[in-house]
Amino acid sequence: MSKEKNKTRIIQHDLKFWKNLSVLLHSMNQSSTESEVVEIIGSFCKKTFLYDKATLFTRDYYNNRSLVIKWTDGYRGDFTAGEIFRAGKCLFGDVLKSNKPVIFNYAAQNKKRINIDVKNDPGFLGFFGIPIRWKNSVFGALVFETNYSLSEDGENIENLGFVQKNIGAAFHRMKEYHILHDRSVKDGLTKLYNRRAFDEAVTRELARSARYKSTMCLLMIDIDCFKNVNDNYGHLFGDFVLQRTAELLQKNVRKIDHLARYGGEEFTVIVVNATKKLSFSTAERLRSAIEQEDFEKDDISINLKISIGIAEYPTDGKDVEKIISRADIALYDAKKAGGNLVKHFKKERSTDS
């Protein structure tokens, strides 16, 4: 086989291709996270395909018209993982529209390769891409670019088709698993994590704090006089209040903290790596956000307030039960004092050691 003919190949070795595909599918468990799956696919690509740049991108979760680059390998002079670009009229976007694997050479194309302003043109000649399908929709793609021209032969297209089918199926299994998992740990009304998820998180964070000798605070939050909302305006408006409260709380906690609906009108926040001083600042921000909100729906407009109790690990307790109990005691003290307050647990209130 001539050197030029070798250059048209996109698979490093036929036997290795099937072996690598088998390892890929075995590695992609249902419970794998997206980042783990991306890493596994990247490793497969490096071992399997001949390319000078590889790119994996998916549709943006928040904007279906935008695409997010999840992984790149090879040439570094143009774009990297994390960048977002418009699907629009570009060759990368065309892979999604094709719905099947494609192979072509840049000389025959007039479109931009990607809708990102690239200062350095890498001068690639060959291009092959694999749309990633989930059910009946294409939600991402693998794109490979080469410094040499490619031939669109049946064997290459067939091999890419096997990759498309199997990676799509693996992504499908992973997505279905995480949808079901989310349903089991998310509150149906507020979409926050539920009591089960909170129990798992507080146990995990307490163990982490103990291991690294760090502090952790638990905030117990209760909407003041919430029973009056249901009694005066009905349960549908009460549900709206809970949903809007959840949104406001979510906007005012750090991404690393854990917010959950504890039950009824009660919420919790696990403030990781935080002393009472930092957690008090967080609690005051939450309290103020609720106090300043006008809860308006269907010609009803009311103002609400919340009370918050804080307990700190390890100062206020060294196990989950005590931390929860003492945050609850502090919450009771805040409500007893008139509500719309943040209270720390005080040791003199404790009846145990």
- CB 304, CB 313: distance < 8 Å: no
Domain span holding position 44 = 3-180
Please compute the mean of the pLDDT values over residues 55-64 and round it to a whole number: 80
Q: Which of 155, 180, 205 is the last residue of a domain?
A: 180
Selected catalytic residue, list 36, 265, 293, 296: 265
Write the DSSP symbol of residue 275.
-
Per the domain annotation, does 189 fall within a domain? Answer: no
Backbone angle region of 22, left / alpha / beta, with phi > 0 → left and psi within -120 to 50 → alpha = alpha
Both 170 and 201 in a single domain?
Answer: no
> To the nearest whole percent, how much of the chain has pLDDT over 90?
50
Amino acid at 219: L
pLDDT of residue 9: 76
Per the domain annotation, does 188 fall within a domain? Answer: no
Q: Is 265 a catalytic residue?
A: yes
Per the domain annotation, does 185 fall within a domain? Answer: no
Q: Which of 180, 208, 224 is the last residue of a domain?
A: 180
Per the domain annotation, does 187 fall within a domain? Answer: no
- Of 60 and 345, the structure prediction assigns the larger pLDDT to 345
pLDDT of residue 62: 59
- CB 307, CB 273: distance < 8 Å: no
Return d(Cα 256, Cα 110) in angstroms, integer: 45
Bridge partners, 322 (sequence order): none
Return d(Cα 290, Cα 285) in angstroms, integer: 9
Both 207 and 327 in a single domain?
Answer: yes
pLDDT of residue 86: 87
pLDDT of residue 1: 31
pLDDT of residue 349: 60
Please compute the mean of the pLDDT values over residues 334-339 and round it to a whole number: 96
pLDDT of residue 6: 47
pLDDT of residue 162: 82
b/e burial code for range 183-204 (CB count within 10 A of at least 16 → b): eebbbeebebbbeebbeebbee
Give Cβ neighbours of residue 67 (< 8 Å, ≥ 6 apart): 57, 58, 59, 60, 84, 85, 86, 87, 92, 93, 96, 140
- Tokens 């059910």 belong to 135
- Grouping H, G, I as helix, E, B as strand and the rest as coil, residue 127 is strand
Instruction: List, for residues 74-121, the tens digit of each pLDDT value.
Output: 999 899 888 888 888 899 999 988 888 999 888 777 788 998 888 788
Instruction: List, for residues 129-188, the tens digit of each pLDDT value.
Output: 999 887 677 888 999 999 998 887 777 888 888 888 877 777 777 767 666 667 788 898
Both 157 and 202 in a single domain?
Answer: no
Amino acid at 143: V
Both 152 and 254 in a single domain?
Answer: no
Q: Does the pLDDT of residue 311 top 60, yes or no?
A: yes
Q: Does the pLDDT of residue 17 top 60, yes or no?
A: yes
pLDDT of residue 179: 67
The domain tally of the chain equals: 2
Per the domain annotation, does 318 fall within a domain? Answer: yes
CATH number at residue 216: 3.30.70.270
Q: How confident is the model at residue 7 (pLDDT cuts 50, 70, 90)?
A: low
Both 171 and 263 in a single domain?
Answer: no
Both 139 and 235 in a single domain?
Answer: no
Q: What is the 3-class SS of 41-88, one letter each residue? A: HHHHHHHHECCCEEEEEEECCCCCCEEEEEEEEECCCCCCCCCEEECC
Both 7 and 109 in a single domain?
Answer: yes
pLDDT of residue 35: 78
Both 273 and 155 in a single domain?
Answer: no
Average pLDDT across the chain, whole number: 87
Per the domain annotation, does 281 fall within a domain? Answer: yes
CATH number at residue 129: 3.30.450.40
Return d(Cα 92, Cα 129) in angstroms, integer: 8
Q: How confident is the model at residue 61 (pLDDT cuts 50, 70, 90)?
A: low
Per the domain annotation, does 186 fall within a domain? Answer: no
Instruction: List, for residues 259-293, the tens digit of each pLDDT value.
Output: 999 999 999 999 998 988 899 999 999 999 999 99
Both 231 and 343 in a single domain?
Answer: yes
Q: How confident is the model at residue 5 (pLDDT cuts 50, 70, 90)?
A: very low
- Which pTM was predicted? 0.55
Q: Does the pLDDT of residue 4 top 60, yes or no?
A: no
Q: Which of 180, 207, 237 is the last residue of a domain?
A: 180
